[in-house]
Amino acid sequence: AGTAGSPLLVAVSLWKDPVLWCIAPMNFAFGFEAAFMNGYVNAVYAKPQLGEAWVGYLGAATALVGAIFSFVFGVVAMRGGTKGPILLIGSVSFIILPLLAWKAQLGVWGYWLLVPYAIQGVGRSVYESTNRGIFADFFPGDKAEGAFANQMMQSTLSFAVCFFFSATLSKDSLSFIILIFSVAVYPGYILSCRLRRFAEHEEQERVGGAAPFDVDVEEPTVASSAVTSSADAAGRASLRARAP
């Protein structure tokens, strides 16, 4: 602390922690999905059927749905003490979108295109609120700033990669990439929980007095409910402040 480069050094120092990459699929799925919707779906389906003005309306609908569900999921997570089921909902939302692009005839949906944009809003709400809370749980204290920097880097990089390759990769290829990351979200989270629990057990064993390792423990102990709730609040504010 105290040096100008310290936040960057903290962020880079977390790269060797496998937990950072196990909880990364939500960020990658969000980045690819946002670029896919903003680039491909807007240009190929929304604008030709509904007009350019409706592209903005659909984006606003995504932001509105995201803001509503971000608040709802934040309350549920705080009262229920668990984020796993909400993360699973976000994962399913991102799974549905590439499946619609594959199998549904979006070219004739007309105003029903509001449905995939609303689904995008649900997934986005999980990314902006619950996902940030998960990063705060796994990387509390002085690691939080570096963890959030990595979260932003992962989503921004995946957005840029998807947007760049949208001109060369087919719709099916882009949809497949989104599907892979979306399916990996919840298993990666469970693996992260067990890796963190195993690391805690090893630390207890090192200092003595460790209990037998319980492989069924899933969620980490919330390091700070204030940090988690503030992360959720930051996500909701971000959703209200900007459209996709």
Is 2 part of any domain?
Answer: no
Q: Mean pLDDT in the chain?
A: 84
Question: What confidence score (pLDDT) does residue 198 get?
Answer: 86
Q: Say which CATH number the domain at 224 has.
A: 1.20.1250.20
Residues 69, 126: Cα–Cα separation, whole Å: 8
Is 91 part of any domain?
Answer: yes
Question: What confidence score (pLDDT) does residue 220 get?
Answer: 54
pLDDT tens-place string over residues 114-162: 999 999 999 999 999 899 999 999 999 889 999 999 999 999 999 999 9
pTM assigned to the model: 0.81
Is 120 part of any domain?
Answer: yes
Backbone angles phi, psi at 243, to 5 degrees: -90, 160
Give me the domain span that covers residue 28. Answer: 7-241
